[in-house]
Amino acid sequence: MIVWGGGGGDDLNTGGRYDPATDTWVATDTSNAPHARYFHTAVWTGSEMIVWGGDAVGGLRFDGGRYDPVTDSWTPADASNAPSARFFHTAVWTDHGMIVWGGRDYSGGDSSLNTGGQYDPVTDSWTPTAATNAPTARSLHTVVGTGSEMIVWGGSNSSTTFNTGGRYDPATDSWTATPHGSDRPVRSVSLSFSGKLK
């Protein structure tokens, strides 16, 4: 398990690796680590942890980095064409890379977002996600990755808590709405699981 960043009076860019087999912690290196932050996201690629976005002293972030636990080293992620700075967003790992979507910024009024981007760590590059048919702008929603798609559900904006969502296909850069109605629970914050049950 890798823990990194957070807040609690001071923003942090430190972390640690926990090994349950030995019940021990090892601090993560801070050389080239991303700027200290909280309310960021992190995904696991299978070999690296990618950190992106979040809030920090001095303003919101639209940058991040990749951490390799084998070499205990950080590689900055290119911020060119990255989504706009935000917090309370989500990120998920798919067959097409990391997808970041939704969240809030400091634009005033209803500052919820329905934009995002795909990050490819192989090419260190970003591609915007389509806005056509995307779910209503929101934050504090949940996402799961199926491997080939990202599914968004729930969340809220300044006036509404949602029981709606959508499926995003990164291969076609397209959205499909999920069914909604009175029989679907309304949630602004919820937990979800993606994986195989044995």
CATH number at residue 12: 2.120.10.80
Number of domains the chain is built from: 1
User: Is the pLDDT reported for residue 195 higher than 70?
Assistant: no
123, part of any domain: yes
198, part of any domain: no
Question: Would you state the structure tokens that stand for residue 97, as one six-digit string?
Answer: 């890379």
Which of 156, 128, 152, 143 shows the shortest CA–CA distance to 193?
Answer: 143
User: Is the pLDDT reported for residue 185 higher than 80?
Assistant: no
> How confident is residue 10, by pLDDT bands cut at 50, 70 and 90?
confident
**What domain range is 73 assigned to?**
2-177
**Radius of gyration of the CA atoms of the chain, in A:** 17
Question: Would you state the structure tokens that stand for residue 35, as one six-digit string?
Answer: 């700027």
Which phi-psi region, left, alpha or beta, contains residue 20 (left: φ > 0; alpha: ψ -120 to 50)? alpha
185, part of any domain: no
pLDDT attached to residue 196: 42
> How confident is residue 186, by pLDDT bands cut at 50, 70 and 90?
low
pLDDT attached to residue 107: 85
The model's pTM is: 0.89
> How confident is residue 187, by pLDDT bands cut at 50, 70 and 90?
low
- The contacts of residue 70 (CB under 8 Å, 6+ apart) are 47
User: Is the pLDDT reported for residue 181 higher than 90?
Assistant: no
